[in-house]
Amino acid sequence: MGRTGRVVDAVTIEQYGPRGRSAWLDVDWSAHQRWVAVDGRAVNVVDLGEGPAVVFVHGLSGSWQNWLENLPDLARDHRVLALDLPGFGESAPPAAGISIPGYVATVAAVLDALGVRQADVVGNSMGGLVAAELALAMPERVRRLALVSPAGISADGLIGDRAMVALRRAERLIVGYNRFWADRADRVSRRAGLRRQLLRASAAHPELLPAALASEQLRVSGRPAFLDALEAIVRTSIRARLPGVGCPALLVWGERDRLVPVADAARFARAIPDSQLIVYADTGHVAMLERPERFNADLRAFLAD
């Protein structure tokens, strides 16, 4: 796909979820937390390790904890940065409202504040859209681009104005429902059936993920920024501009992605000139958590290529 890209058909991986005890459980994350002021609002950033910089950008309703299975591995020989986008996780909502260009500007401002001129950028879902937009808007800042089930093609125009109005009317109910489960994250995550029910949209087999990892994902849901960010995604069209991505790109997709269809994988690969695509069999929307060992190896190989 593209000038020098290649496609690897669905790769079957036996191991689902982390193998053994996860390294993130033994990290004192508070020692690596940084607060960066962007337009007068606090952005929460995790800064770990030394070496070439790699920036991780989470998806809709997520947080930096979406990368728990990946950060310690890459931090062995990289400086890894993972932020909570404004309005999610512990970051304050942006004063000017949520938009994809605003999130791009936030990532650039965080890099500036932390003295990073250029970085490899990794994004999942909405974070993949933000990462791709950063590569288009500020190509000098992005050395390599890794996108995990990025939004930006099927989501474009998926929700019409009438549907958005209906969602707005139900906003308090939606946020309240997510907040209810977030406040009970530790308790419900210990039950495989509830893990499956609450995370089935994101993961192919949530019941097979460790309770502690599932809890960290549920804990950050229910933020009021959800619908504003969703609207920003569906109002952003990137398909026609993807050929302008000038850096090498790795595309990783789950064959059973329920949120961003795997059909978009080939569309992204065709549009980005220097790209390679890997599809993981029996995997959902968060390949980096579902297949962390394989994902970390594929990401390392790509960054070192």
Vertex 140 angle, CA 134 and 142, to 5°: 50
Cα–Cα distance for residue pair 197/257, rounded to 1 Å: 16
- How confident is the model at residue 163, as a pLDDT? 66
Domain borders along the chain are 6-159+236-304
**Radius of gyration for the chain, computed over Cα atoms and rounded to the nearest angstrom:** 18
- How confident is the model at residue 68, as a pLDDT? 98
Cα–Cα distance for residue pair 15/213, rounded to 1 Å: 16
Evaluate whether the domain defined by 6-159+236-304 bears CATH number 1.20.120.530.
no
Q: What is the pLDDT of residues 171-229, one digit of tens each?
A: 666 666 677 767 788 888 888 998 988 899 999 999 999 999 999 998 887 677 888 99
- How confident is the model at residue 6, as a pLDDT? 59
- How confident is the model at residue 177, as a pLDDT? 63
Low-confidence spans in the chain with pLDDT less than 70: 1-9, 155-177, 181, 222
Q: What is the pLDDT of residues 39-50, one digit of tens each?
A: 999 999 999 999
Cα–Cα distance for residue pair 229/84, rounded to 1 Å: 13
Q: Are 211 and 218 in contact (CB under 8 A)?
A: no
Contacts of 53 (CB under 8 A, 6+ apart): 78, 79, 80, 81, 111, 116, 118, 119, 120
